[in-house]
Chain A
């Protein structure tokens, strides 16, 4: 227990210090993006890593968070936090809708259903022009906190909070229930676990967190276009979870950090940037199946 409290405190200190280590607007912007990605990776990990549900549609909830909050703020003049609350709720509800599929489907079937979910959400955003402006986009969006440092502290603070709460959750009996569903759903049912309810819980909560991350995205970029939420984003989130280490708490955090900074660091490689990124991704998945976390444990364990 004490170790955990100390680690959380150290994490908070590191987070607080980061904007002073990376002092330029560009790198601080990347830090904000990183914090958002950490939230997204954590949200997906809950559904995928701990509950074992193959979810390829997380980008849909990210998108709902971004669009619902922005529309409420821009078209109806709502305040940021009220709009965010509704957006998070909306994303959560949509997550419950996807959970309805998860109750009946497993494995690759669920994977494609969730992918279809994401495609449908994306297409609705493009085509429902009266509400979302479609491909024209929404411009001049302001973040809830004007300064980049402030925005980073806000999003990173929320990420740390979510991490701590989720950590407690997975260590609790609820976490055991989710893991039981992941390991063997049939046996879990024989233990009296109502898989449907707990899957709904995981999907809904995961979707809500992704929606929360989505609320900060438009203000950060200043511009909101549907293209930002095409299904490639789902795959990027998936990669973050797997590269970091699925089913652990710190894994998604590491994966998010690595996969946010890697494309930026590779910018000096010009036209080879994405090829190297693809190569790195493939190699990590091939040779470090448990992700960076497992490789780290193997390294430190063998000493």
Chain B
């Protein structure tokens, strides 16, 4: 393998992994937007809470109290993170989204979730302090090497779990009754209601699923991120960009957009400099919005006319 080819492949691998990282955060956002038409600005903070929940479950509870081996402890911590995320989602839905739903407002829930984000970040700051926490999973210190290409086992796990999550969600939406009902609510809430589906219940379920996803993302990303109460803030804006580049509410688009952003980021670092990442990604965003405002994969909604 020549040097240049190796470099190209390695950065591509880095990009795919980065992309999966963003996709894991963005997937829940897309889900919520698809069904509710709302942006949950606190979503990335759910990821951070999930990470902390996972950390404390793995290090304090699972190993010390239950005496589980490391891998078992980590798996348990993922479950804990999932549960924590679900609970948070339930709480925010009940407190913020449900009460504001009737107005069909686009802005007020956004501001309310900004307020929630501030509360969560500062609450964590008060509880956990600002010093970054060390979250080691059984996989985060191992490196996999294939020829001249390397990646950490944790990043492989991130890619694997995100792929599994996507596949599971896709199957759920397409083949189960609940999934079909959700898609019906996403397309036309009123008509769905007339057909005997309880939209409010389904929306609540969607938010819980999305937030649970965020929690699991936290468990996966905890060993990778710099784990402070502000970890969410470092990824939320890029996650938004991905949701839009992919097409609001469109899952396949989100995935493609996420991978695209990750690869662009890796190559921007290589040839331009990491200080320019945000610039390149958002210029791409604006270009997308001009050229193809409905996103990479045109959605059926014709809201933009």
The reply, when asked whether chain A contacts chain B directly with Cβ atoms under 8 A, is yes
* A residues at B contact (CB < 8 Å): 48, 54, 101, 104-109, 111-113, 115-117, 119-120, 123-124, 126-127, 231, 235, 238-239, 242, 246, 271-272, 274-275, 277-283, 285-286, 289
SS class of chain B's interface: helix, strand, loop or mixed?
helix
Residue of B nearest to A278 (CB): B118
Q: Which of B139-147, B170-178, B197-205, B276-284 contacts A (4 or more CB under 8 A)?
A: B276-284
**Closest approach, in angstroms, between the C-beta of A136 and any C-beta of chain B?**
14
| B276 cross-chain contacts in A, Cβ below 8 A | 123, 127
| Residue in B closest to A242 when the chains form the complex, CB atoms | B111
Give the distance in Å from the alpha carbon of A106 to the alpha carbon of B294 in the complex. 11
A98 to B293, CA, bound (A): 15
Cross-chain contact A127 with B275 (CB below 8 angstroms): yes
Interchain CB contact under 8 A, A106 and B111? no
Among B18-26, B51-59, B94-102, B219-227, the stretch in contact with A: B94-102
Chain A nearest Cβ from B37, distance in angstroms: 8
Q: In the assembled complex, which residues on chain B have CB atoms less than 8 Å from the CB atom of A286?
A: 95-96, 99-100, 112
Cα separation A120 to B276 with both chains bound (whole Å): 10
Residues in A neighbouring B116, C-beta threshold 8 A: 278, 282
- Would you list 18 pairs from A and B whose C-beta atoms are within 8 A, ordered by A residue? A111-B106, A112-B285, A113-B285, A116-B241, A119-B237, A120-B283, A120-B286, A238-B111, A246-B107, A271-B125, A278-B115, A278-B118, A279-B119, A281-B112, A282-B96, A282-B112, A282-B116, A289-B100
**Does B240 have its Cβ within 8 Å of any Cβ on chain A?**
yes
Kindly identify, within residues 249 to 305 of chain B, every residue whose CB is under 8 Å from any CB belonging to chain A: 275-276, 278-279, 282-283, 285-286, 289-290, 293, 303-304
The size of the chain B interface, using a CB distance under 8 A, is 43
Q: Which residue of A lies closest to B126 (CB)?
A: A271
Q: How far is the CA of A124 from the CA of B275 in the complex (A)?
A: 10
Q: Does B72 contact A (CB under 8 A)?
A: no
Answer whether residue B248 sits at the interface, using C-beta atoms and an 8 A cutoff: yes
Q: Are the C-beta atoms of A272 and B126 separated by less than 8 Å?
A: yes
What B residues does A285 contact at CB under 8 A?
108, 111-112, 115
